[in-house]
Structure formats: structure tokens, C-alpha cells
Chains A and B, each alone.
Chain A
Amino acid sequence: MPNKLERPVKVMLIDDNIIDLKINSKIIFISKLFDEIIQCRSGEDALSYFNIHSNQPDKLPNLILLDIQMPEMDGFEFLENYKRFPPELKENCVVAMLSSTLDFGDIRKAEANPYVIKLLKKPLYPEHLEEFFKANF
């Protein structure tokens, strides 16, 4: 968990659904909680972003909002890959799931994953995002 917060604070959104990507980016933007939003259309996209910017800590996100159900690489598979990143890449970053799932299996899996600090539900309400932000940053 990041102990000191240095501006700019960056959030990475990983979601295969462009509409949700757009909606949630907009909600985050209006909330003014984050200074920069990195949008990824898939887990693969996000992984390659990390690979490209592995030597630029100022480009790396402080929070990843990760969708669960995505084609090919789903949220949990992304986490499996994320796990293998060197610790310095992850030390200033936390992961929260962002999903519309009501499935117990998914919910339990998300809560059990040591990298996931919270399961946020879609639709994302600005109040919930703010509450989450205050609790973790």
C-alpha cells in the first residue's frame, strides 16, 4: 500500500467495454480525485503498458481499477501476470476490482486475492469512489 501520496496521482482503468471505460473515466475525472487516467481495453494492453514504462516510475499508476469479466484475459488472469512484476513496479500501486458481478464465486475470489484491496461495484457512484479514495490514499 502506498504510504505517501505524491501528486500527480494516476489511476489505470482496465475494461473491455468502451462504454464503461468512457463512463468511469468521466466519473473519475469529475470527482477530481485523480490527476491522470490511463485507459486500457484489455489485460494484455495493461501488461504491455507496464512493460513499456517499467523504467519510468512517474508513468506508473497508483491505483488499478480492474474489470473481472473480459474476453481472453479476465481480471483474475491479469492479476496472475501482475503478481510476477518486480516489487518496485507495484510498491506504489494498489488494485481494486470494478465489476457488475453478483456472482458469489467471483466475489469470493476477488476478496480472497491478496492483491485486491476492494471490490467496487458498477455502477460506480462518486460517493463510493471518494470513500474508497479517502480510506486508501
Chain B
Amino acid sequence: MTRSPVKVLYIDDEENNLLAFKASFRRQYEIYTAISAAEGLKVLENLSVEVIIADQKMPETTGVEFFKSIATTYPDPIRILLTGYTDIAALADAINHGDIYRYITKPWNDLELHNSIKNAHDAYRSKIDLRNKVKELEKTNDELNRFIYSISHELRAPLVSVIGIVNLVKMEGLYNSSGEYWELIEACSNKLDYYIQKTLQYYKNNKNISENSAIDFKKLVDQMIDLYAYSDRDTQFNLNINQTHPFMGDSFRIEVILGNLISNAVKYQKESGHHKVVDISIEANLLSAEISITDNGLGILNEHLEKIFTQFFKAKNNKGSGLGLFIVKEALNKIDGTIAVSSSLNHGTTFKITIPNAK
């Protein structure tokens, strides 16, 4: 691969040094020289150089002062400072304020300076490459997010129409008219809707925006129970919610966390005939909210406990999507919360969560 030669700007008030520099390096680099900081600035205004070498001791503006002055306007070029004597104060200043890559004493050694320029150029390239990569990734990420979002919407609208038609079939008393076919269509549609909603939750959680608002845990839990237990009226909920202080938190993520856990507690139950109980206790104070959700359902195999928070993990005969707990974990990560689980097979599962109060 051929690359255009590295552009180097050399600023020195001594004409002889400029000439010597040109003579030594003109074959390797594209060289621009300037007799003062002001002249150097003119060069920078007209073209982008990759490496700047400046002499420290110049009248009017010193090398370090020059580097300081271009710190925000030209942050990219790599800076090398040249100086005739080892001036500790200048050196400290240069390192602390001038963003200097190398410090070289005069008279310079051609090989040393050459190596420094080469290294400086490598540093420049990796800086620019990294920035481009980050930009590229941000763009791809953004597009992906938008894609998931619009797909979820476009997919959901017609699906919701299908569920609407099934409702009509029920209203017109035709639900049992074709064996169990309508029931199957309804089950499949609900399942698909569930997946789409989980995908949307995941997408929304991935966005970094976090908005804190006041959380009333009693109200929130009631809403979540309403929303997720409507299909299962015979579950008994024992609530013990004690909120002593106002609690600020990311309401969307806390809703996602509680919603998924409550829906799981209702869903992973033993076959009918069993008295289903879900205990929810919340202690919310100035520092945090400690939430515990316990069911008396199927329980989780010991060897599965570590895997339940990974994406798409499903136990055999499990009716879930393998996304719920994964999303819970991701949402907790975003708000600095933690989760612990304990379970006893056939007796039930307890999830304990801690969410810091963002007040």
C-alpha cells in the first residue's frame, strides 16, 4: 500500500535549523517550515499536517506556548518539542499543558529525530483510526437500533389486527366453530406479540438515555400485577411494601424489571389445582430499594441458576422466550442495580434485587 508522505511542520526561529532539517528529511517527509509561531499557524490554517515539531526558545511565542494555543483548534497533529538546553521548567510545562509526545534536545541526532517522527506518525494514525472506528460503530449501532424499532412497529401493527379479528370471532360466537383452530391462532399471535414486545423492551433498554422520576412502589407493583396477572386470576399476591422516603429512579427500567419478574412468578407455576402464591416485599429508603419476589412454583435446577440471565437461555419445556431475565439483568446494569436468585426445585424461587435511590 502506498501512502502519501507524512506531512511535517517544523517551526524554528533559526533559519539554519530549518534548512538543515529540510536537507536531512526532505526525502522521507513532506516538509513545511515556519520561522515563527505566527507563520506556523498560517501553515496549519491551510493544510492538515500530521506531526508538528517546534523549537522551545523562540522570541514572542515559545514552542510550549504555541502548542498550548492550538490545543483545541488543532488537537490532532502529534507534537514534538525541540530545545537547545535541558530546561526542566519548560519540560514540566510542556508535559503538563502542551500535550507533547516527545521531547528532543538540540542539536538533534538525525536517527533519533527520524524515529520520533515515525512513532509520532503511528500515534497520529491510531488516533484517527480509532476515531473513525468509533464513528462507524456509533452509526451502525444507531441504524441497528432504528431498524429494530421500526421492524417491531411494522410487525406489530398487522399482528394486532389479527388479534383484533380473533376478538371479533369471539364476540360473534364463532370461536369454537372450527375445532381448536381459532384458539391456536390466538395462542400463536399472543406468543409473537410477546416476542415483539420483549424485543422492543430490549431495544429501549439499550438506549442510554436514563430519566429519573419519582417512583411510588405500591402503585407500580399494583400496575404490574394488573398487567401481567390478568390471564391468571387465581394467583394470590402477598404484598409487603414499605417506602419510607421518596424514591427517584429510572421508571421505564424499574417497570421492565418488576414486570418481567412478576410475569415469571405467575408463569412458571405448577399445573392447576395448586394454590399459587407470590410474595412481593419492598423496602425503599433514602439509599436504595430492596425488592424480593418469591413464588411457590416450579423452581429452577441448580445447574441452571447461573445461566438464567444469559440471552436465549431456556430450560426444556419452558414456555418463555429466553429474553425476560436477560433484559432484567441488562436493565439492572444500566441503573447500577444488582440481582440474586435462590431456588429450590418444586418449591419455588426467590429473586432479590437492590436498586440505588438516585436522589
**Which residues on A are within 8 Å of B, measured CB to CB?**
17, 19-20, 23-24, 26-27, 30, 69, 100-104, 122-126
Contacts and interface: CB of A to CB of B under 8 A. Distances in A.
Contacts of A19: 158, 161
Interface in B156-202: 156-158, 160-161, 163-165, 167-168, 171-172, 197, 200
Given A24-B164, A104-B252, A122-B160, 18 more contacts: A20-B164, A23-B164, A27-B164, A27-B167, A30-B168, A69-B153, A69-B157, A100-B153, A100-B156, A100-B157, A100-B160, A102-B152, A104-B204, A122-B161, A123-B160, A123-B161, A123-B164, A126-B167
The 6 closest A-B pairs by CB, nearest first: A123-B164, A100-B160, A23-B164, A123-B163, A122-B160, A30-B171
Contacts of A122: 157, 160-161, 164
Contacts of A30: 168, 171-172
Contacts, number: 49
Contacts of B171: 27, 30, 126
A110 B171 CA distance: 29
B115 to A, nearest CB: 55
B157 A23 contact: no
Interface of B: 149, 152-153, 156-158, 160-161, 163-165, 167-168, 171-172, 197, 200, 204, 252
B161 A17 contact: yes
B168 A27 contact: yes
A104 B211 CA distance: 12
A106 B172 CA distance: 33
Nearest to A102: B200
Most buried by B among A17, A27, A69, A100: A100
Nearest to A124: B164
A101 B156 CA distance: 9
Contacts of A102: 152-153, 156, 197, 200
A69 B197 CA distance: 18
A122 B160 CA distance: 6
Main DSSP-derived SS at the B contact region: helix
Contacts of A103: 149, 153
Nearest to B157: A100
24 contacts: A17-B157, A19-B158, A20-B164, A23-B168, A24-B164, A27-B164, A30-B171, A69-B153, A69-B157, A100-B156, A100-B157, A101-B153, A102-B152, A102-B153, A102-B156, A102-B197, A102-B200, A103-B153, A104-B204, A122-B161, A122-B164, A123-B161, A124-B164, A126-B171
Contacts of A23: 161, 164-165, 168
Nearest to A23: B164
B249 to A, nearest CB: 16
Contacts of B149: 103
Contacts of B153: 69, 100-103
Nearest to A122: B160
A23 B171 CA distance: 12
A19 to B, nearest CB: 5
Contacts of A125: 167
A123 B160 CA distance: 5
A101 B171 CA distance: 24
Contacts of A124: 164, 167
A125 B156 CA distance: 17
Most buried by A among B152, B156, B160, B172: B160
A103 B167 CA distance: 24
A100 B152 CA distance: 11
A132 to B, nearest CB: 16
Contact of B167 (A100, A101, A123): A123
